[in-house]
Structure 1
Amino acid sequence: MSYLVQLVLILVLTKLGAHLSNTLNFPSVIGELLVGVLAGPAVLHLLTPTSFTHYFAEIGVIVLMFIGLILSATSVSITVQVLKEMNHMNTREGAIILGAAVADDIMCVILLGICVSLFGTGAAAQSQSVGALALPKILFFILMLVLGKWFVPYFLRFFDKLNASENVATAALILCFGFAALAVSLGMSDVLGAYFAGLAISETSFKEKLALKIEPIGYAVFIPVFFVSIGLNITFKGMQHDLLFIGLLIIIAIIGKQFGGALGAHLFGLNLNEANIVGAGMVSRGEMALVVANVALSAHLIDQNHYTAMIVVTVITTLIAPLVLKLFIQRAQKEHSEIKQSRTKIDEVKS
């Protein structure tokens, strides 16, 4: 099958899968991911992993991480949809969820980059001193800080003055891929470089303008191929031996995020219902978990069975999270309504 036929199949099937998923009130990413599983070697054998899908998916994950901070936190895109639907976006809980999710994503990407550089394929941890290993990483973070604060705004303003079409969008993509290449050259993951490029641009006045330009480029072609490629790499062979592991991982994933998020929110003054909303809002793993699993597999940090287990856990928690969040929001709204009615009755009695 030629790469053009593969691309046509992927684009058609992902849009149909996303449509069906959205119709059933599930996130579109679930439909796109399941397209890869069903059409791939695990089920129908319509599509197989090739060098074309590999490189397209690599660009897709880089662009996904890049636009993550320009648009919103990648790990809570599903949570944001629920908050908007339940008219709970502009609340204290909503602000805490978004802020915590951004911090969560940043720490996740940094830790992922460090793990890949130290323990992944090609890491020379066995033959290098601690200083030789640490120096490039320290240099990387210094460069990200300096370039992000001073170079990126100047670079965007310079391109904005050029007499050519789509100057700023091109400049943003240059920064995205340039930062990714710089990260790789210093022994870090390319997604970490792309993420820092997005972080730097999100602090400039070009953020809103670029969000409208870059998002269609990513979600029209490259990002759907990335999600499908994840499904193509899934195998159910030997999965029966990992069912206990998957079950425990799901329980830990949900309870850990729910309890940890709720406890932290409660310690900062939120009541029990509000704290539970924050905890439920942090449960969804979303796109970030898919990125972590993909990078970990590519760097041989995990094997194929654990990769499949991580994807299954991500899908299940992503499906469960909106339901749990809606439950806690409805409970909070009901309690708020009852308190309001009680106060109204008390005022009527007093009057």
Structure 2
Amino acid sequence: MDFLITLTLIILLTKLFSHIFAKFNLPTVIGELLVGIIFGPALLNLIHTDNFVTLFAQIGVILLMFIAGIEGDLTQLMKYWKPSLVVAILGVIFPTIGAFIVCVLMFHFQISTALFIGLILSATSVSISIQVLKEMNYLDSKEGMVILGAAVADDIICVILLGIASSVFAGPHSNSLNLIGLILPKLLFFVLAFVFGKWLVPPILSLSKHLIATENLSGIAIVLCLAFASLATYLGMSDVLGAYFIGLAISQTKYKAELSAKIEAIGYSTFIPVFFVSIGLNVKLAHLSTNLPFILITIIIALIGKQLGGWLGARLCGFSSESGNIIGAGMVSRGEMALVVAQVSINAHLIDQSHYTAMIIVTVVTTLIAPLLLKIFILKQHAQEPIPQVIAH
């Protein structure tokens, strides 16, 4: 019965902390992380990581990425594909290279550890930015569209790099794999994802509507999610990659809105909170004082890398400096994807516990700073351009 008590505590506490953080206009995901830190081994030691928590957390992260895919908008990405792609690429390159150089030269980390820390810092979560854009009537502005488009591209780039890097550095026979054997399974996965997503997912979902069963559509959607997560793992990629791409395929169907609401209810009511709490449970505050210089430097790299990447990418595509600052600030926030990369990294023993804790702290700090930066730059542009350039619908 212990697992029932654990699940009861996790769900209750995450909802209470989410409410408190939402009241103060702070990211609710930070509140869920704090539940794991406060009530886990780091402080009160009331909740512990076990097989139950691990399994629920694994399902949670798969559903989280599945939902991110379903809520994606490839139409907007294609409309602003050039600035979005440039911003996304530079937003991955700058923090990844910056972190890699610092980790290798200053802290003498192994190449694999430095690379994965760079990947953690390259991840973006715009859920916080979207809320700020809505509040300030900038969601439909050209800056808002580029931020959204770049977030889609950023997620795809980051997840692909995560899957490839995991197979290279964490594979049991990675040293003996030749280049062809390494690349071919990945190419096969993307071919299957494209073919399956474009031509098979829509009819499968349509057929599921004719099944005489409760929640037939959402049930078949979860089957597709878990099947593609398994396929990705079988072909040497991360399971979250399979879930994300099948979600993107569903986002192009007429069932997007219905499935988004139903899968969110399943994921966010139980499994996803367990995932975030499980991350907090792995935080050990004992490592904080010894890693303070590393934490401060990586926070600076995380902030400057995304801000500079977004600003430069926007400027290269003809945006003003003020618009570039807004786009850069919109990409600063870390969140779900950074936590996913961190979790994959520690599970594959590519970073140790102290680095893992440092990355969680960096994620929390950048997520708290990002909304403030975004508001400052939007207000600054308001002072110069009172009416934002809104896209005509």
TM-score (norm 2): 0.83
Over residues 212-246 of structure 1, what are the superposed CA-to-partner deviations in whole Å (9 max), with x where a residue is unaligned? 11111100000000000000011122322211111
Residue in structure 1 matching 2:330, options 281, 288, 296 = 281
Equivalent in the alignment of 1:89: 139
Which structure has the bigger radius of gyration? 1
> Could you tell me how far 1:72 is from its partner in structure 2?
4.5
Over residues 107-164 of structure 1, what are the superposed CA-to-partner deviations in whole Å (9 max), with x where a residue is unaligned? 00010011111112x4311233333222222221221111111121121111112222
> Could you tell me how far 1:337 is from its partner in structure 2?
3.5
| Aligned residue identity for 1:105 | D
Is 2:287–2:357's contact at 8 Å kept on the other side of the alignment?
no
Give the distance between the partners of 2:176 and 2:139, measured in 1 at CA: 51
User: Identity, % of aligned pairs?
Assistant: 58
> Could you tell me how far 1:173 is from its partner in structure 2?
0.3
Residue in structure 2 matching 1:119, options 169, 192, 200 = 169
Equivalent in the alignment of 1:164: 213
Is 1:102 equivalent to 2:152 in the alignment? yes
Give the distance between the partners of 1:85 and 1:70, measured in 2 at CA: 24
- Which stretch of the first structure deviates more once superposed, 8-17 or 131-140? 131-140
| Counterparts of residues 280-299 of structure 1 (less than 5 Å) | 280-299=329-348
Is 1:260 equivalent to 2:309 in the alignment? yes
Secondary structure (helix, strand or coil) at the match of 1:297 reads helix
Equivalent in the alignment of 1:20: 20
Change in 2 beyond 3 A, CA 1:334/1:147: same
Equivalent in the alignment of 2:37: 37
Is 1:11 equivalent to 2:11 in the alignment? yes
| Counterparts of residues 238-253 of structure 1 (less than 5 Å) | 238-253=287-302
| Aligned residue identity for 1:270 | F
Give the distance between the partners of 1:315 and 1:229, measured in 2 at CA: 15
Equivalent in the alignment of 2:368: 319
Give the distance between the partners of 2:172 and 2:138, measured in 1 at CA: 45
Which structure exhibits the higher relative contact order, with contacts defined as CA atoms closer than 8 Å and separated by 6 or more residues? 2
Secondary structure (helix, strand or coil) at the match of 1:126 reads helix
| Counterparts of residues 301-312 of structure 1 (less than 5 Å) | 301-312=350-361
Secondary structure (helix, strand or coil) at the match of 2:359 reads helix
Change in 2 beyond 3 A, CA 1:338/1:150: closer
Equivalent in the alignment of 2:270: 221
Is 1:79 equivalent to 2:129 in the alignment? yes
Is 2:67–2:247's contact at 8 Å kept on the other side of the alignment?
yes
Is 2:66–2:244's contact at 8 Å kept on the other side of the alignment?
yes
Is 1:50 equivalent to 2:50 in the alignment? yes
Aligned length: 338
> Could you tell me how far 1:40 is from its partner in structure 2?
0.5
Give the distance between the partners of 1:192 and 1:301, measured in 2 at CA: 19
Unaligned runs of 5+ in 2: 74-123, 389-393
Residue in structure 1 matching 2:251, options 202, 205, 208 = 202
Secondary structure (helix, strand or coil) at the match of 1:224 reads helix
Equivalent in the alignment of 1:345: none
> Could you tell me how far 1:184 is from its partner in structure 2?
1.1
TM-score (norm 1): 0.93
Is 1:334 equivalent to 2:376 in the alignment? no
Secondary structure (helix, strand or coil) at the match of 1:310 reads helix
RMSD: 1.6
Over residues 67-99 of structure 1, what are the superposed CA-to-partner deviations in whole Å (9 max), with x where a residue is unaligned? 002124881111000000111111000000000
Unaligned runs of 5+ in 1: 340-351
